[in-house]
Amino acid sequence: MIENLPSAALIFIACYAGSIVLDRALTKASDHFDTGTSEIFRLLSNSQRGLLIAIGVVLALSELGFDVSALVAGLGLTGFALGLALKDAVSNLVAGVMIVLYKPLQIGDLIEISGSKGEVSNINLRYITLAFEGTKILVPNSLFLSNKLAIFKEAVK
């Protein structure tokens, strides 16, 4: 086990360095897009960093001679359970990414969706905020993809 320590450390360091390089590349790529997509790049950056470090730990432990098959199976089951538990949140997130990328709505548009009518005051990765007669209405982004949407006027420029 001791004789494999340098190679295990090298594997982990390579994965960690790879996550830093990919983080910088994503940061540089986000500069070429408008400010609305910065949340997407931040999410990708954080996700890739955690994933690459976890892969580095598993590969380093494997190199040291530990049986990581149970760990990998446990991570797979955990991912499956989290996927089921967070399916609505992930659905809103994916819809939010599509809204930010395709920009079918703008701040100031008057819309009606799922029986809620109001002026779009904010768009983020989880929900669309509508303002109507002093009331703030939060509409989950997943409803945007699955329901009929009416846009009554374009944004004031």
Low-confidence ranges of the chain (pLDDT < 50): 155-157
Q: Is residue 51 part of a domain?
A: yes
75 in the same domain as 120 = no
CATH code of the domain containing 61 = 1.10.287
Cα 23 to Cα 17, 41, 52, 87: the distances in Å are 10, 9, 11, 26
Q: How many domains, in total, are found in the chain?
A: 2
Write down the pTM of the prediction.
0.59
CB distance 139 to 128 below 8 Å: yes
Domain span at residue 73 reads: 2-85
Q: Is residue 111 part of a domain?
A: yes
**What is the pLDDT at residue 16?**
94
**What is the pLDDT at residue 15?**
94
123 in the same domain as 77 = no
33 in the same domain as 80 = yes
Out of 54, 85, 116, a domain closes at 85
**What is the pLDDT at residue 12?**
94
Q: Is residue 99 part of a domain?
A: no
C-alpha 44/C-alpha 99 separation (Å) is: 16
CATH code of the domain containing 144 = 2.30.30.60
**What is the pLDDT at residue 127?**
87
**What is the pLDDT at residue 36?**
61
**What is the pLDDT at residue 155?**
45
**What is the pLDDT at residue 79?**
84
Phi first, then psi, for residue 69 (nearest 5°) are -65, -40
CB distance 96 to 142 below 8 Å: no
Query: b/e map of 123-143 (b: 16 or more CB within 10 Å)?
Result: bebbbbbbeeeeeebebbbbb
116 in the same domain as 49 = no
72 in the same domain as 35 = yes
- Listed in sequence order, the residues at least 6 apart from 47 whose beta carbon sits closer than 8 Å to its beta carbon are none
**What is the pLDDT at residue 157?**
44
